[in-house]
Amino acid sequence: MDRDKTKVRSFEVAELAQISRSTVSRALAGDPRISESTRARVRAAAAQLGYQPNLIARGLKNRSTGIVGVVVTDLNNPYHAQALQLLVGKLGARRLAPLVFVGDTAEGAESAIERLMSYQVDAVIALAAPFSGQIVRACRAGRKPLVLMNRHDGDEDVSVVSGDGVAAGAMAADHLIAQGARTFAYFAGDDSTSISLDRETGFAERLAENGFELSARLSSRYSHAHALDVAADLLRSGAQAIFCANDTLAFALMDAARGMTGGARRPLVVGYDNSALAGWPVYDLTSIDQNLEDMTSLTVETAHSMVAAPASPPRRHVISPHLVQRGSSINRPPKGTI
């Protein structure tokens, strides 16, 4: 437990610049009371020695670590992975450091949040997390700002940034109606988050407004294998157009359709997430893009501002999605088909 002599402390910088440690701290922090000449001297000394402040010590003193906890569920879901990537990048730009935990089970979420608290994070971002109840409770108890991304169940007093599921469903309906479909189905996921319910509601309501109705509905786990197993049932409903809660479900549905014998007309399909694969020719899937870029920006901005002003009231942002039209929803075989 000896001191590592390679580590430069503010004391060394102070010595070299012939000044006190407080002045070093102030000069580097941009305190306006420090004269330009001393500041320059301090900067030079710091640079010469390669001084990097110890943020752990600073965190202890300031009660603000600059660490933001990020709780994520499943990185195998490309949509979550991309969201995390964007979050990490944007947090970094604001000089915040993400401490990442995976909470894919109730116990996992519990222990994740506990560790985050121990590390005195400045805020917590929970990404599409189930078990958000425990997270909300823990953050409230620990007085930590919390931003829920793509989750808005309960009228909790936490900040939320989420996609507009109702608008997404309506968009899908409008588009499919415009393509000439007259019978419709919904392929749901196995979650019961309000956002995914919104999608279905928005879809059904917009159909109703146009005098149509949902003739079939099926739900599946969000895994390609499982969805592939059950998709045939949905196809047999004969619906001309199917809106899927997720691109993965849409892919499975299309795979099932290809595998079906006979020349049964393939349904028009619209997915949700606009994952990279949706743009590949094999699927060429029309999909609803949640504008992750905006969503993550706003999430980070919200977290940041809550750190800066902890007393400020929770914010709620809703991001409008947009539909990316591709071959899967056009009334002729998509170009990727052979």
E strands, the chain, in order: 67-72, 97-102, 123-127, 146-149, 159-163, 184-188, 214-219, 241-244, 268-272, 286-289, 316-319, 322-324
Strand pairing class (97-102; 123-127): unpaired
- Supply the minimum distance, in Å, between the C-beta of residue 305 and DNA: 19
- 197-226 binders of its own copies (CB under 8 A): 224
Read off the tokens for 75.
Answer: 């990185």
Contact 303, 145 (CB under 8 A): yes
292-294-299 Cα angle (round to 5): 90
How far apart CA 208 and CA 195 sit, in angstroms, is 20
List the single partner that 85 binds among its own copies, DNA, none, CB under 5 to 8 Å by kind. Answer: its own copies
List the single partner that 233 binds among DNA, its own copies, none, CB under 5 to 8 Å by kind. Answer: none
How far, rounded to the nearest angstrom, does the alpha carbon of residue 190 sit from its chain's CA centroid? 19
# of chain residues touching its own copies (CB under 8 A): 60
Q: Of 133 and 183, which CB lies nearer to its own copies in the complex structure?
A: 133
Q: Which of 28, 75, 230, 318 binds its own copies (CB under 8 A)?
A: 75
Q: Which of 100, 197, 230, 330 binds its own copies (CB under 8 A)?
A: 100
Residues 6+ apart with CB under 8 A from 198: 164, 165, 166, 168, 169
List the single partner that 92 binds among its own copies, DNA, none, CB under 5 to 8 Å by kind. Answer: its own copies
- Supply the minimum distance, in Å, between the C-beta of residue 333 and its own copies: 10
First to last CA, the chain: 67
| Residues found near DNA in the complex (CB under 7 A) | 1, 3, 7, 9-11, 18-26, 28-29, 31, 33-35, 37-38, 51, 53-54, 57-58, 60-63
Strand pairing class (322-324; 286-289): antiparallel
List the single partner that 6 binds among its own copies, DNA, none, CB under 5 to 8 Å by kind. Answer: its own copies
x/- site string to its own copies, residues 246 to 285, per CB under 8 A? -----x---x--xx----------------xx--xxxx--
List the single partner that 28 binds among DNA, its own copies, none, CB under 5 to 8 Å by kind. Answer: DNA
Contact 39, 49 (CB under 8 A): no
- Supply the minimum distance, in Å, between the C-beta of residue 12 and DNA: 8
- Supply the minimum distance, in Å, between the C-beta of residue 33 and DNA: 4
